[in-house]
Amino acid sequence: MSLQNIKPDQPSKAPFRLPLHWLGILPFAIFVLLFLILPTMRIVLGAFQTPDGSFTLANIRGLFTDSILAAYWISIKISIASAVLGCAIGFAVASAVVLGGLPQAIRGPLLTFSGVASNFAGVPLAFAFLATLGPVGLVTVFLKTQLGIDLRLLGFNLLSFWGLTITYLFFQIPLMILIITPALDGLKREWREAASILGATNAQYWRLVAFPILLPSLLGTLALLFANAFGAVATAIALTGSSLSIVPILLFAQIRGDVLGDPHLGYALAFGMIVVTGIANAIYIWLRARSERWLK
């Protein structure tokens, strides 16, 4: 047999095997698929369908009625108010802990509490505020009986615009603390020392050095807090019921299945919320990427 006819053994191809370390994220991927991606796709498709499944734009046109536009506007105002106040108060608290003279022993408990409080919402949060600032809440009764201050006469009502805004601050402020603390940690001591050597005052350092560096993080967090408040559903429904016409409450009314409900208009309302929160989150991601380039 000729040596030319002898062919070297071809290496057999190993069968493809998924690395075992990918199995760790498999439960998370299944969870995201079942409870985020598929429901979102169902909402988007339902917003452009009639009850018999045909394509229509009537649901989207229904969003431009006066009552729905007013609900969107109220939701946007509440989200802006809670985001701005949450950013201001949270930034002050985080600055006091990271850069101020507060003991460092406070930092650990504060961040731990912020991690818990930023996820505390829904019926428990609504009940807590009703028991505290409601018509017969602990603080309301104390102010009226002990100090002679009647919150009702002063115009405060928990089931109102400012009542819901204050309730949202319970999870907005901790979320701001969690996000802005790493950005404050990223401010290098050398920058302050260099500014001081050049004769800059503390106010000039913050205005010309620190604040421009932190501005993308602040604006990005503001966008994230806006999206967080705009998408809050359970807290608003549990606290105000139908007394305040905001988008989550209108959405609940449309899809709860009674005779007057229109599920596909509810899909359109949810689709509008997805668009608004998606834009806010995209702004946050873009600004966050810009700030990380400075803080690295």
Q: Which residues make Cβ contacts (< 8 Å) with residue 150, sequence separation at least 6?
A: 143, 144
Structure tokens at 253: 């009314």
Helix (H) or strand (E) segment spanning residue 85: helix 66-98
Question: CA 224 to CA 168: how far, in whole Å?
Answer: 14
Convert the pLDDT of each residue in 221-256 to its tens digit: 999 999 999 988 888 888 877 777 888 888 877 877
Structure confidence at residue 16 (pLDDT): 63
The band of 15, judged by pLDDT with boundaries at 50, 70 and 90, is low
Q: What are the Cα distances from residue 156, in Å, to 76, 124, 135, 160, 165?
A: 20, 21, 10, 8, 12
Domains contained in the chain, CATH given: 43-295 (1.10.3720.10)
Which residue did the predictor score with more confidence, 23 or 84? 84
Residue ranges with strand state E in 178-241: none
209 neighbors 191 (Cβ within 8 angstroms): yes
Would the pLDDT of 134 be above 80? yes
How confident is the model at residue 201, as a pLDDT?
87
CB 97 within 8 A of CB 157: no
Mean predicted confidence (pLDDT) in 23-48: 90
Tell me the CA distances in angstroms from 121 to 43, 91, 94, 175, 289, one per residue in order: 23, 21, 22, 12, 28
CA proximity to 266, closest of 253, 280, 283: 253
pLDDT on residue 258? 57
The pair of structure tokens assigned to 274 is 């997805």
Mean pLDDT rounded to a whole number for the chain = 86
CA separation for the pair 207, 190 (Å, rounded): 16
Q: How far is residue 268's CA from residue 43's CA, in Å, rounded to a whole number?
A: 8
Tell me what pLDDT residue 114 has.
Answer: 93
Q: Is 24 exposed, middle or buried (0-12, 13-18, 19+ CB in 10 A)?
A: exposed
What is the per-residue pLDDT across 135-187, written as a single tens digit (0 to 9) for each? Answer: 888 999 999 998 888 888 888 888 888 999 999 999 999 999 999 998 898 88
pLDDT value at 288 more than 60? yes
Q: Is the pLDDT of residue 272 over 70?
A: yes
| Cα 190 from chain centre | 33
- Over range 55-72, report the average pLDDT: 91
Tell me which amino acid residue 3 is: L
DSSP label of 147: S
**Cα angle value 174/179/184 (rounded, 5°):** 110
DSSP string computed for 222-249: HHHHHHHHHT--HHHHHHHTTSS--HHH
Q: What is the pTM of this model?
A: 0.84
CA dist., res. 290 & res. 283, Å (int): 11
Q: What is the pLDDT of residue 295?
A: 61
pLDDT for the residue 110: 93
Look at residue 5 and tell me whether its pLDDT is greater than 80: no
Secondary structure class of 39 (helix, strand, coil): helix
CA separation, residue 138 to residues 133, 148, 152, 226, 245 (Å): 7, 14, 14, 30, 27
Average pLDDT rounded to a whole number, residues 265-273: 91
What is the mean predicted confidence (pLDDT) over 90-111?
Answer: 89
Query: If you search the block for the tokens 């649901």, which residue do you land on?
Result: 59
Q: Is the pLDDT of residue 99 over 80?
A: yes
Query: Above pLDDT 70, what percent of the chain?
Result: 91
Nearest alpha carbon to residue 113 among 61, 39, 17, 181: 181
When pLDDT is averaged across residues 35-50 and rounded to a whole number, the result is: 91
User: With 90 as the cut, is the pLDDT of residue 271 above it?
Assistant: yes
Which pLDDT does position 284 carry in this prediction? 87
Q: How many CB atoms lie within 10 A of CB 139?
A: 13
Quote the percentage of the chain above a pLDDT of 90.
Answer: 36
